[in-house]
Chains A and B, each alone.
Chain A
Amino acid sequence: DAKTTQPPSMDCAEGRAANLPCNHSTISGNEYVYWYRQIHSQGPQYIIHGLKNNETNEMASLIITEDRKSSTLILPHATLRDTAVYYCIVLYNTDKLIFGTGTRLQVFP
């Protein structure tokens, strides 16, 4: 079973920052937090991952709380093309990605 909890859906205005939360209260010390997204009828796309430090790349920023029990994915300037289902995944001591239900982000004009 996925060990993350995400809100089922969120809305965001185009051009604004989208902040997607994820709870992973049972995460252990050597487990990473990964974020993927899936645009309708496509394979998932890797966004970002982190262990304990905040991370930023060209797509997004990942903020992980100090106790590592939750994280937030930030899309700094959401566009209509960012409309997708976003999955937060804790990577166990294997390399299996187990998907939860994700957050359906709708970006509106």
Chain B
Amino acid sequence: GAVVSQHPSRVICKSGTSVKIECRSLDFQATTMFWYRQFPKKSLMLMATSNEGSKATYEQGVEKDKFLINHASLTLSTLTVTSAHPEDSSFYICSATQGADTEAFFGQGTRLTVV
């Protein structure tokens, strides 16, 4: 299957700083990418949909100024957690598709710990 790479896989940052997470589709062009977060023993929660060349669409309750998403090319989307706080500590996962009704491929996830 297609490969989606996330970087970094693990990051620890201080409270108040910002952290950028990258999501790359390595062998296909992703028209759409998605960002999820997952708390321990819970399911994945969709945060936002990222479309190349346009603004991201955020799910209800997700602060767009807190979680900045940029999808500058067909192979790269970034999620920046701004002014991180301990409650932002979570597992962040991206996925990418080539279009509607095709399977999504997921990155390996990024574990963010804010201290």
Contact = CB atoms under 8 A, between A and B. Distances in A.
A80 interface: no
From DSSP, what is the main secondary structure of chain A's interface residues?
A: loop
B93 to A, nearest CB: 5
Contacts of B45: 99
A99 B44 contact: yes
From DSSP, what is the main secondary structure of chain B's interface residues?
A: strand
Contacts, number: 55
B104 interface: yes
Nearest to A31: B101
A32 B101 CA distance: 8
A93 B100 CA distance: 8
A96 B103 contact: no
A46 B107 contact: no
Interface string A72-109: 00000000000000010001011111111110000000
Interface string A12-47: 000000000000000000001010101001111110
Contacts of B93: 43-44
Instruction: With a 10 A CB-CB cut-off, give which of A36, A44, A95, A99 has the most chain B CB atoms.
Output: A95
A49 interface: yes
Interface residues of B, number: 27
Nearest to A32: B101
Contact of A97 (B1, B95, B108): B95
A84 to B, nearest CB: 13
A43 B6 contact: yes
B45 to A, nearest CB: 8
Nearest to A87: B43
B13 interface: no
Contacts of A42: 108-109
Interface string B92-115: 010101011111111111010000
Interface of A: 32, 34, 36, 38, 41-46, 49, 87, 91, 93-102
